[in-house]
Amino acid sequence: MYKNYNNGYTLKDSFGRIINNLRISVTDRCNFRCRYCMPEKGMVWMKKDELLTYEEIKRLVKIFAELGIKKIRLTGGEPLMRKELHLLVNMISNIAGIVDLALTTNAYFLAEQAENLVKAGLHRINVSLDSLDPVKFSEMTRRNYFHKVWEGIEAVEALGISPIKINVVLIRGINDDEILKFAHLARKRAFVIRFIEFMPIGADDGWSMNKVVFTQEIIETMEHGLGMKLVPIEYRGSQPEDRFMFEDGVGDIGFISSVSDPFCNNCNRIRLTSDGKLRTCLFSLTETDFKKLIREGADDDTIKEVLVDAVWKKEPGHLINRTGFVRPNRTMSQIGG
C-alpha cells in the first residue's frame, strides 16, 4: 500500500494546498504560431509513440480521480490536432469523480468538432483569441485564420455551451489598443473575456517586463473608456482569475494576473504533459515520469504512491520577475497551457 501523508485520499502538498485540478496536454503540436508561444519556424514535435495513448491517459485519470482529482482540462499545443479527441473526452467523462471536463483551444477545428465533443461529455470551452481585428490577429498568431476561429466560437455558442471563455494575451505595442473593443464584446455577448498577463514561458517569445500589460492598466483603461467602474463578481470555485462586471451589471471580465499578482498561494493544479510527465507547477524545473511507470507495468498503488509524493513536493510558487527566476526548459506549448 502506498504511503499516505494526508490521512485520506485527498491530494495535498506540504503547504496545505488541496490539489483537485489536472491539466492534460494531449499534443505539443500546433497549427498556429502565436508570437508569445512559438517561433515561426524550427519547432520540433514529439513522435507519435512518445505521446500517451488515450487508454494510458484514461488509466491515469482514473487513478488520479481516486485520489481526489475532480477537474480536468484538455489542452496542448492545439488539442484539436489530436485525432478524434471526442473519444478521449468520452472516456474521461465516464470516470467516477470527474465533475468538470473542459478544453482550451485556438478554435481552428472547433466548428467541425464541437458537436461531437459536447455529445461526448465536454462541459466547458475556453478559446484563445487575442485580437478582434483580422489583420492584427494574423500578426499575433502568424496565421490568417481569424474567420475560422470566430466560426468555431459561434458553433459552440449555438450548442448552448456556457460560459464560453475567451482568453486574451495582450502584448504592449501590438494588441494593447484593443482593450475597449474587448470590453464592448463582453457587454454585447455572453462571453467571459479573460485577460492573461504575458508570461516568460514561450519559445523565443521576446518577453520583457515592459511588454506585459498589467491587469490594473486594463481595468483603468476600461473604466476610463466606458465611464463606468468595474466591480468584483462573487463566484464559486477556485479559478485563478478575478472576475468583474461593469457597475450597471453588464459584462463579465476575468483577469489572470500571473505576473503582477500570482495566484500561487491558492493553486490547486498539476499538469500532465503529452509525453506523460507530471509537473506540479507551470514553472517547475523537475518532472515525474508517469509514462515510464505505466509502460514498465507499475500497478495502481505504485502510481498512487508516486503521485502523492510528487504532489507533496509542489513548489510554493513561481518567481517571475524576482531574483532566482529560472525559465523551465519546456515551453507552454510543450507543457500544456
Which residues make up the interface to ligand SAM (CB under 6 A)? 30, 36-37, 75-76, 78, 104-106, 128, 167, 169, 196, 198-199, 201-202, 205, 332-333, 337
Q: How far apart are CA 185 and CA 178, in angstroms?
A: 11
What is the residue whose three cell numbers read 515551453?
A: 331
Q: Which does 75 bind (CB under 5 to 8 A by kind): ligand SF4, ligand SAM, none?
A: ligand SAM
- Contact string 241-280 vs ligand SF4 (x = CB under 6 A): ----------------------------------------
* Selected range binding ligand SF4 among 19-27, 75-83, 212-220, 289-297, rule: CB under 6 A: 75-83
Please, are residues 235 and 244 in contact by the beta-carbon 8 Å criterion?
no
Report in angstroms how near the CB of residue 167 gets to ligand SF4 at its nearest.
Answer: 9
Among ligand SF4, ligand SAM, none, residue 199 binds (CB under 5-8 Å by kind): ligand SAM
Query: Between β-strands 277-279 and 269-272, what pairing exists: parallel, antiparallel or unpaired?
Result: antiparallel
Give the phi and the psi of residue 36 in degrees, each rounded to 5: -90, 0
CA 267 to chain centre: 13
146 lies in the site for ligand SF4, by CB under 6 A: no
Residues 85-124 that bind ligand SF4 (CB under 6 A): 106
34 forms part of the interface with ligand SF4 (CB under 6 A): yes
Verify binding: residue 184, ligand SF4, rule CB under 6 A.
no
Distances in Å between the Cα of 329 and the Cα atoms of 36, 197, 200 are 16, 20, 11
In the complex, minimum distance from the CB of residue 68 to ligand SF4, in angstroms, rounded to a whole number: 28
Closest CA relative to residue 57, chosen from 33, 82, 25: 25
**Beta carbons of 130 and 99 less than 8 angstroms apart:** no
With a CB cutoff of 8 Å and minimum separation 6, the contacts of 34 are 106, 128, 130, 140, 141, 142, 169, 202
How far is the C-alpha of 270 from the C-alpha of 281, rounded, in Å?
Answer: 6
Distance from the Cα of residue 183 to its chain's centroid: 22
Q: Which residue has the cell 495582450?
A: 170
Q: What is the DSSP letter of 45?
A: P
Among 20, 21, 22, 32, binds ligand SF4 (CB under 6 A): 32
Task: Report the residue number whose CB is nearest to ligand SAM.
Answer: 337
177, 140 Cβ separation under 8 angstroms: no
Shortest reach from residue 312's CB to ligand SAM, in Å: 27
Q: Which of 20, 21, 128, 175 binds ligand SF4 (CB under 6 A)?
A: 128
334 binds, among ligand SAM, ligand SF4, none (CB under 5 to 8 A by kind): none
At its nearest, how many Å lie between ligand SF4 and the CB of residue 251? 25
Size of site (CB under 6 A) for ligand SF4: 12
Q: Which residues make up the interface to ligand SF4 (CB under 6 A)?
A: 30, 32-34, 37-38, 76-78, 106, 128, 333
